[in-house]
């Protein structure tokens, strides 16, 4: 967890203790209430639901909105915003605004002056 990280009430973090997959938060990341980050999961193709997972990396200066779900193996690029209630199933490029289920990029943020 980098400097200046803010985690609001009800946020949940599930690193992958069995597979060693981590949740990494960069500098100045804002995590809104009831966001969930799940670095572990199960293989749907396996009838025994074998354990799977992947690192979640949230780069610097990201805002994760209320009730967002980040799934295993995703990277949220620096300066991005993930809209409330979104489910992030794949990587989000830096400087993006992504919303929806599954989350998709709807626009790029304007760079700082």
Tell me the C-alpha distance between 61 and 64, whole Å.
10
Q: In 10 A of CB 70, how many CB atoms?
A: 28
Q: Which two tokens stand for residue 84?
A: 């409330």
Write the pLDDT tens digit of every residue in 2-24: 999 999 999 999 998 888 899 99
> CATH number of the domain at 6-107, please?
2.160.10.10
Active site residue 42: yes
Tens digit of each residue's pLDDT (9 = 90 or more) over 48-99:
998 899 999 999 999 999 999 999 999 999 999 999 999 999 999 999 999 9
Supply the pTM of this predicted model: 0.93
Q: Which of 18, 21, 42, 51 is catalytic?
A: 42
Flag whether pLDDT at 112 surpasses 70.
Answer: no
Tell me the pLDDT tens digit for each residue of 73-85.
999 999 999 999 9
d(CA 78, CA 101): 21
Domain coordinates of the chain in residue numbers? 6-107
């Amino acid at each position: 967890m980098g400097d200046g990280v803010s985690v609001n009430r009800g946020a949940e973090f599930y690193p992958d203790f069995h597979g060693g997959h981590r949740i990494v938060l960069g500098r100045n990341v804002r995590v809104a209430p009831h966001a969930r980050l799940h670095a572990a999961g199960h293989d749907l193709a396996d009838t025994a639901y074998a354990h799977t997972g992947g690192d979640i990396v949230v780069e610097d200066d990201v805002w994760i909105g209320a009730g967002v779900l980040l799934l295993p193996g995703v990277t949220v690029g620096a300066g991005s915003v993930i809209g409330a209630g979104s489910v992030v199933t794949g990587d989000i490029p830096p400087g993006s605004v992504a919303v929806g289920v599954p989350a998709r990029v709807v626009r790029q943020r304007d760079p700082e002056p």
